[in-house]
Structure 1
Amino acid sequence: MIGTFLRYGAGSLVAMACSEIVLVGAYNLGADSQWATILAWAAGALPNYVLNRRWAWRSDTRTGGEKLRELTLYWLITLITAGFAILATTATDDWIMNTVTSRGAQSVLLAAAYLLAYGVVFVTKFVLFDRLVFADRRTRHQVPSTTRA
């Protein structure tokens, strides 16, 4: 489980880097905080899914039903956290527009709010992914235990 958590953390860092670059870029190019956050989420969500599925949990679901269940739960959790990030960045944007004049400083503060929002849900997402999304991976690969008589 520690190895899975470390791989999840590394994959999350890759996804977060993709997201932060897109967030700051889109915001500096004039996108409002909501659109910048949505674009940032999209930029990080796909690599995050691939890294989590293939690398962190080493999932190899093959059947249509298992794959659909995995995809549905994963994207549901991810969309809920995206909503949280949109709320956090919108609230931050409302505050900084009235107090900070430099667009560069505004984008740094917005990026910090986005990072904080995802930092808050980081462990929760791990638990949900481990227990719900990729849970069947463990049972498929478990070796039956033998007991001594």
Structure 2
Amino acid sequence: MGCVSTVTATAPKPPQPHAGQPRFIARLVRAGASSVLATAASQVTLIGLLWWGASPTAASAVAFVAGAIPNWFVARRWAWGRKGKPDVKRELMPYLVVIGLGAAASVGLTTLAGMITEPLEISGFTRIVVLDVAYLSSYAIVFAFKFALLDRLVYRGGNVQVAASR
């Protein structure tokens, strides 16, 4: 009894649109988790600065940067699967524009809340809570918009690894 061996040729799979990049739901969950970590860093900074008497504008601006820096590294690597040195023109600059819009919303809402609380003579812990709610509200409002822009514009095209030296 002879064995028949068959060999079948398999066509190579076409490249996926986001090869090397986590699937959409994974990216969304990971970006959300990264955002939660960034928000925690921002919250500690914001509350601390407000407690020490900083203006709402200065406190929210510094707090935003305190969260944005770690978020860049965590989200870029974990949510979008990016490694290596980022391309300044195609990745870093668009990222800065997107988060700049988020920063404007955070600082703007916190500054507005500060302007509203002054004439109402809301002070101390209550004022910090009101300013913090305004700051957090901007994060909630901006997250979906920011994720969509990052996912579709900044990090489109999959896992691009740029060489460390040029």
TM range (shorter): 0.7 to 0.9
SS at match of 2:34: helix
Following superposition, the deviation at residue 87 of structure 1 comes to 1.1
Following superposition, the deviation at residue 101 of structure 1 comes to 3.3
Unpaired runs of 5+ in structure 1? Answer: 141-149
Q: Give the alignment of 1:101-112 within 5 angstroms.
A: 101-112=122-133
Q: Residue 112 of structure 1 aligns to which amino acid in structure 2?
A: V
Task: Tell me which residue corresponds to 2:65.
Answer: 42
Match of 2:104 among 83, 95, 99: 83
Of residues 12-21 and 97-106 in structure 1, the stretch that sits farther from structure 2 once superposed is 97-106
Q: Considering only aligned residues, what root-mean-square deviation do their CA atoms show, in Å?
A: 1.7
Aligned residue-pair number: 138
Following superposition, the deviation at residue 2 of structure 1 comes to 0.4
SS at match of 2:82: coil
Structure that is richer in helix per residue: 1
Show CA shifts across 1:37-62 (max 9, x none). 11101100011111110101111255
Task: Tell me which residue corresponds to 1:136.
Answer: 157
1:127 to 2:157 alignment: no
Task: Tell me which residue corresponds to 1:117.
Answer: 138
Of residues 127-136 and 66-75 in structure 1, the stretch that sits farther from structure 2 once superposed is 66-75
Task: Tell me which residue corresponds to 2:92.
Answer: 71
Task: Tell me which residue corresponds to 1:60.
Answer: 83
Partners of 1:54 and 1:60 within 8 A in 2: yes
Following superposition, the deviation at residue 79 of structure 1 comes to 1.1
Of residues 72-81 and 101-110 in structure 1, the stretch that sits farther from structure 2 once superposed is 101-110
Show CA shifts across 1:10-46 (max 9, x none). 0000000100110111011011011001110110001
Which one has the largest radius of gyration? 2
SS at match of 1:50: helix
1:19 to 2:42 alignment: yes
Using CA pairs under 8 Å that are at least 6 residues apart, name the structure with larger relative contact order, 1 or 2: 2
Give the TM-score normalised by the residue count of structure 1: 0.86
